[in-house]
Amino acid sequence: MKLEKTLRPFGTRQAAGILCAALGVTSLPAAAVDVDAGDYTALPAGTNLGVLYYQHAEDNKVFANGNQVAGGNLKSDTSILRGVHYMDIGGFIVDPQFLLPFGNVRGSDNLQALGSSGGTADLILAATVWLVNNPDKKTYFGVTPYLFVPTGSYDRNRALNLGEHRWKETMQAGFITPLVGNLILDLIADVTIFGDNKDYGPGGATLKQDPLVEGQVWLRYNATQSLDVRVGFAESYGGRTTVNGVSQQNRTNTNKFSAGFAWFPAPTWQVLGIYGQDISVQNGPKEENHFKVRLLKVF
C-alpha cells in the first residue's frame, strides 16, 4: 500500500494506505489530540464532569505531496463518552479521566471500495496536572499525558478501522490567559509517539510512525456570563509512516480552522457547538466539513 512517488492515478489499496495513515486519534477525525477552548480551566477538587460528544466529518479529497490524487467521500459519525474527576494531590489540581470513542466510518462514491467500519475506538486514559492555577486572574497552565490503549475494533483485512492496534502516548501542555476585556487566549501544544502495529494490512506487516506534533490556538469572547463565541486554528506536522521499513512518503502537514460557541443554559449544564474544516493538507484526506456537539454536566 505504498504511495508511489510519481503521482499517477492509484487504486483502492493505495488510497486505503493514504487514508489509514492519516486517520489516526481516534481514527476519528485526526491523529493529534484536539482540545476545545476552556478545557485547560482547572475546577475545584471534588468536581466531576460527565461529557458526551457527537461528531460528523466529511472528507471529499485525498492528497499526496500537496496534490489531489483521488476524490470521493469518506464520512464518519462518532461519539465520545468522557468522565473527569478533579482532585487535590500535594497542593496541585489533577483530573484523572477516561475517553471512550465509538461510531462508524465509511467510504462512498469513488472511495466506496474502502468499505466501512463500526464499533469502539481505542480507550484513552489521561490526567492533567495544573502547574499554574490562578482563578482570580483567569490564568492556567497544565500538562496532560494521554495513553491510548489498543482496545478498539480492528481487522487487518479492512481498509478502514476505528481501532489502531497499537499503543500511543501523547504529552500535551495548555495555557489560558485573558487578553483585553472579555477576550481570552488558549494555547495548546502536544507531541504524539506511536507504538508499532505488527499486524497491519492483509499480509500482517509492521507499521511504524514518526512522532506527530500539533499546535492549537483559540480566541474566545465572553458575550455574556453564560455564552462565549470562539475561533480556532490548528497545525499538525510529522507522523510519516513506514511499512516493513519502506517509507510511505506521507508526512502530515495539515492546517485547519474552527469556529463555534459554548453556552451554559443552566449553571451545571454546558452545550458546545463547533464547525471546522481543513485549510490545507499535504498528505491524506482533506476534511471538508466537521460538526461537533458536546453536552457537559457538572456534578
The residue extents of the domains of the chain are: 12-298
Q: Which pLDDT score, from 0 to 100, does residue 16 have?
A: 43
How far is the CA of 16 from the CAs of 23, 107, 114, 162, 251, in angstroms?
Answer: 10, 10, 7, 14, 16
Render pLDDT for 1-17 as a digit per residue (tens, 0 to 9). Answer: 232 222 222 233 444 44
Q: Provide the 3-class DSSP secondary structure of residue 72.
A: strand
> For residue range 143-188, what is the model confidence (pLDDT) as tens digits?
999 999 999 999 999 989 999 999 999 999 999 999 999 999 999 9
Q: Worst-scoring range by mean pLDDT, 34-38, 52-56, 65-69, 291-295?
A: 65-69
* Strand ranges, E, within the chain: 48-64, 67-85, 87-89, 92-108, 116-120, 123-134, 139-149, 168-178, 183-194, 197-200, 205-209, 212-222, 227-238, 241-243, 246-247, 252-266, 269-281, 284-298
> What percent of the chain shows pLDDT beyond 90?
79
Rounded CA-CA distance 169/211 in Å is 10
Grid cell for residue 252: 502530515
Q: Are strands 48-64 and 252-266 parallel, antiparallel or unpaired?
A: unpaired
Average pLDDT, the chain: 89
**By percentage, how much of the chain surpasses pLDDT 70?**
89
Topology of domain 12-298 in CATH is: Lipocalin (2.40.128)
What DSSP character marks residue 228?
E
Say how many C-beta atoms besides its own lie within 10 A of residue 283's C-beta.
25
In this predicted model, what pLDDT tens digit does every residue of 44-57 receive, in sequence order?
A: 999 999 999 999 99
Q: Given CA atoms 141, 256, 219, 225 in this order, what sign does their dihedral have? A: negative
**What gap in Å lies between CA 153 and CA 261, rounded to an integer?**
32
